[in-house]
Amino acid sequence: MRIETERLTLRPLALLDLDTTHAYAGDPDNTEYMVYLPNHTKAETEQFLRRVVTEWEKDAPQFYEFAVVLHERHIGAVSVSLDEDRAEGELGWIFHKAYHGQGYATEAAKAVLDFTLRELPVKRIVAACDCRNAPSCRVMEKIGLSLESADGMRRNKNSIEDTREYKYALTVGE
């Protein structure tokens, strides 16, 4: 499965992406606002990639993790995870910090949103972020999601404190 955008190619994330995935997923600065990251070892990243590959092999995956490729270089990932009933999909993304601020997250997230709306039976799309992560908020707004809640709480992996979480949503058919 491949998705092409104006500048990017999205394809299933794979084991061959170990080094490039770990470059962004293992960087504490790059993952400051992430709940499940950073990965502290390359083995953690490899374990995650093995789960991704297994999921892609299923007839009806519960999550789709796309590698984002720019000029044959893997620069990040965008995913959609489905709830148990496959009625709601949650979008997420991460990019190597060298590619922040160039519109790649918006372009790739919009492509995965379009894929989700076209190919999966979801009735609702959500995305969430740390309240301090203004760039992710902007991506959510640019792809058509609206702020639903600003009072959730989360604890990021490298934090000892809870922070506020913003939740954005889009209901299909609105």
**108 and 49 Cβ atoms separated by less than 8 Å:** no
Q: Which fold has domain 3-123?
A: Aminopeptidase (3.40.630)
The fraction of the chain above a pLDDT of 90, given in percent, is 94
Q: What is the pLDDT of residue 158?
A: 83
Stretch 6-17: mean pLDDT, rounded?
98
Question: Is the predicted pLDDT of residue 173 greater than 80, yes or no?
Answer: no
Residue 130 buriedness (CB in 10 A; 0-12 / 13-18 / 19+): buried
The amino acid that residue 152 corresponds to is G
Q: What is the pLDDT of residue 17?
A: 98
Confidence of residue 7 (pLDDT cuts 50, 70, 90): very high
pTM here? Answer: 0.95
List the chain domain ranges.
Answer: 3-123
Stretch 142-157: mean pLDDT, rounded?
94
DSSP 35-61: SS---SSHHHHHHHHHHHHHHHTSSS-
The fraction of the chain above a pLDDT of 70, given in percent, is 99
For 127-138, the pLDDT digits (tens) are 999 999 999 999
Confidence of residue 155 (pLDDT cuts 50, 70, 90): confident
